[in-house]
Amino acid sequence: MTVRTRTIYRCSECGADYPKWGGRCDACGEWNTLVEEVEAKTTSSRSAARTRRETPAAAPVPIGEIALSRATRLSSGLRELDYVLGGGIVGGSVVLIGGEPGIGKSTLLLQVAASSARAGRRTLYVSAEESGPQVRLRAERLGESALLVELMAETALEEILATATQATPDLLVIDSIQTIYSSELEGAPGNVGQVRECASRLMRYAKESGCAVFIVGHVTKGGGVAGPKTLEHIVDTVLYFEGDGSLDFRVLRATKNRFGSVDEIGVFRMTASGLEGVENPSALFMGDGGASSSGTAVTALIEGSRPVLVEIQALAAKAGYGTPQRVANGIDPRRLALLLAVLEKRSGLPVSQLDVFVNVAGGLRLSEPAGDLAIAAALASSVFDVPLPRASVFIGELGLGGEIRAVSQAERRLAEAAQLGMTVAYVGSRGAPRTAGSLKLSAHDNLSALFAALFRQ
Ligand code: TYD
Ligand code: MG
């Protein structure tokens, strides 16, 4: 006999619940906020509450006496992934890997599963998206150990959990959360209610069994499908797999991590036989090393805990008619607007009449202001059509007055630059580091002083 649980529709804004779905919540007036969920048991009468109080669930223990076994980390077999996870996979944790379709999520996780199987751990890969033969084709590309992974092509959550409970894997991969469903809910796979329910059940399974669970989640450009955003607060760790589909390397970024620091990145290259860690990301993001063309400048960013050299490319061209275009790839368009205003006002660069295109090489996203100076230098170099000095690096934040500010961890950035063959570093004079190893420091107060030195205006 199967007892069907009752489901209700709860407003994700105000929490009001309804027996039927509706487009608008009558309680708070918000549209499209009703999400299906399994109704909590309402039979907790007073007597039930009393008996519960009489049987203590778990006795408190001093934290120091809790066994650490669950927190031991296993290597994923991919150095870059271990790095992003904060030192390896934590048993009993749930990791969500988000990314656009085709970016390489299934490939990455099949590689992790292969490495786990090779190490003799019980590994279960649930493919709810692709059939067995399709997964086999991928596995053949990845090498022999991928063929050892136990595969299950299944979409029903209850079946998956039943199999997992019996097989007691050390590693469970769910590919993907949008294509599995719980039969307790009526909604179609992929809707917010289903995705949330499936994820919390998997989370409970992971905590109870100590099995590490990886979940794939798709994000679409439009953001229309219920995706990783809904899940971020349920799971332990959220990784995003990014990259330009047309380029062969990918950046894995942690945006939430209960067992490590966030903002770490791992860099991979997609090869004919799977993903390969890139040991030295700087070489990748530097283009041809800031050679002799105008409009390129190199900066040193801190990505997570490591410095990375990145090339910025700028092109300023005479605008056609109408409003000049501003196209920013890899930097915040508002930051670009601000920098352009500072350039125009504080150094007299006539950028307001020009079309401006700025590109961060390698599809990396520039999120810290330490790259300001490189963007400004690249733009000025393009406007004057004068290349910047060879093997130079630009590190500094720009203030609204055109002043060049010091940045955090300057020494580490400079050390990375020196290691990659840069010979001169342009920085702000205030708070400039005293020594820079083999690098020659060229410190300036503001943009005008810097441009005077660079372009002999
Ligand atoms: P996939 O892992 O299926 O992406 P996702 O699960 O995120 O949708 O792989 C995406 C692309 O990677 C696909 O276009 C084929 C390519 N690929 C390689 O270039 N080399 C390989 O070894 C494999 C397995 C895939
Ligand atoms: Mg896939």
Among 78, 96, 97, 107, name the best residue to mutate to test ligand 1's pocket (greatest count of ligand atoms within 8 A of Cβ): 107
**Is any atom of ligand 1 closer than 6 Å to the C-beta of 333?**
no
CA–centroid distance, 100 to ligand 2, in Å, is 9
Residues 92 and 207: beta-carbon distance below 8 Å: yes
pLDDT digit of tens for each residue in the chain (457 aa)? 445 578 888 887 788 889 888 888 888 888 888 888 887 654 444 444 454 555 566 778 888 887 665 457 889 999 999 989 988 999 999 999 988 888 899 999 999 999 999 999 999 999 999 999 999 999 999 999 999 999 999 999 999 999 999 999 999 999 989 999 999 988 888 888 888 899 999 999 999 999 999 999 987 665 444 555 678 888 999 998 887 666 677 888 888 898 888 767 888 989 999 999 987 777 767 765 545 688 999 999 887 777 888 899 999 998 877 888 999 998 999 999 999 999 999 998 999 889 999 998 877 788 889 999 999 999 999 999 999 998 899 999 999 999 999 999 898 899 888 888 889 999 999 877 777 778 899 999 999 999 999 987 5
CA of 238 to the centre of ligand 1 (A): 20
Cα 74 from Cα 117, distance rounded (Å): 12
Name the DSSP class of 389. Answer: P
What residues sit around ligand 2, an ion, with C-beta below 5 angstroms?
106
Ligand 1 neighbour 103 (Cβ under 6 A) = yes
Question: Is residue 106 lining ligand 1, measured as CB closer than 6 Å?
Answer: yes
Give the number of the atom of ligand 1 that is nearest the alpha carbon of residue 175. Answer: 6
Task: Read off the tokens for 68.
Answer: 């650490």
List the beta strands (DSSP E) in 44-137.
73-74, 89-90, 94-99, 123-127
Q: Is the CB of 348 under 6 A from ligand 1?
A: no
Smallest Cα–Cα separation from 260: which of 28, 33, 82?
A: 82
- Do 98 and 238 form a contact (C-beta atoms < 8 A)? yes
- In degrees rounded to 5, what are phi and psi of residue 56? -65, 135
Q: Which of 270, 271, 273, 275 to mutate to test the pocket of ligand 1 (most atoms within 8 A of CB)?
A: 270
